[in-house]
Amino acid sequence: MTQWEGDEYQRRFDELASSGVDVHGEASFVMLGSPGSVLDAGCGTGRVAIELARRGVDVVGVDVDASMLATARAKAPGIEWHEHDLATVNLDRVFDVVLLAGNVPLFTAPGTHRALVAGCARHVAADGVLITGFQLGRGYELDSYDADCRTAGLVLTERFSTWAADPYRPADDYAVSVHRLRDSIGPDYRAEFEAVDPSGGCRG
């Protein structure tokens, strides 16, 4: 991709914001947990990361697309940005929140989703969360995502249909999922969620 494409992608959100549309739903959702640190995994042009930094969060952004990162670096040179594949990245630190916003799993090559989830999971702090939002019905469904999370040692604890935390229903075409490390939650709490059919929804 070219530099122009990264700028063009960002321009769409700038225009929406200028027209009065709230383009920071993901950041607002993340802030419900008052995190100190966030890894914006698949950060693109940095829209979410920059807003989180503005709200006082220690943010790091990772993306494999040089064009998107060039735009992000130009807009916020003070944020730490890394050009890397999420499946193999290792930042040698963990975060309160690892965030996959903007349909990131849908841009992942077939057969690499499990590695993507594992790469994100190894950056989740012991008491942290992995938050992911993506469109359904496009080849990577919730049962597969939840299975990949379980393989990575993560347990589903909450699921919503929007970044505004609307309750999730099986017929919804979008899902925002919150997973925690399996070893970080108590056995009773863990059993409650492991007994839930992921396709049938969860808290929220």
pLDDT digits (tens, 9 = 90+) for 81-104: 999 999 999 999 999 999 999 899
3: Cβ contacts below 8 Å, ≥ 6 apart:
67, 70, 71
Residues 6+ apart with CB under 8 A from 108: 86, 87, 116, 140
Question: Can you name the CATH fold of 3-197?
Answer: Rossmann fold (3.40.50)
pLDDT at 37 > cutoff 60: yes
pLDDT of residue 102: 85
Q: What is the mean pLDDT of the chain?
A: 86
Give the Cα separation of 139 and 185 in Å (integer).
31
**Res 141: pLDDT:** 94
- Asked whether 43 and 84 are in contact (CB, 8 A), the reply is no
Q: How confident is the model at residue 20 (pLDDT cuts 50, 70, 90)?
A: low
Q: How far is CA 189 from CA 106, 163, 194, in A?
A: 30, 24, 9
Q: What is the pTM of this model?
A: 0.84
Q: What percent of the chain has pLDDT over 90?
A: 75
Cβ count near 6 (within 10 Å): 24
Asked whether residue 75 carries a pLDDT value surpassing 70, the answer given is yes
pLDDT on residue 125 = 98
The structural domains of the chain, with segments of one domain joined by +, span 3-197
What average pLDDT does this structure show over 170-193? 80
**Average pLDDT of the residues in 151-175:** 96
User: Who wins on pLDDT, 3 or 142?
Assistant: 142
Instruction: Give whole-number Cα distances, 86 to 13, 100, 105, 149, 193, in Å.
Output: 24, 10, 10, 15, 27
Average pLDDT over residues 59-71: 95
Mean pLDDT of 160-177: 96
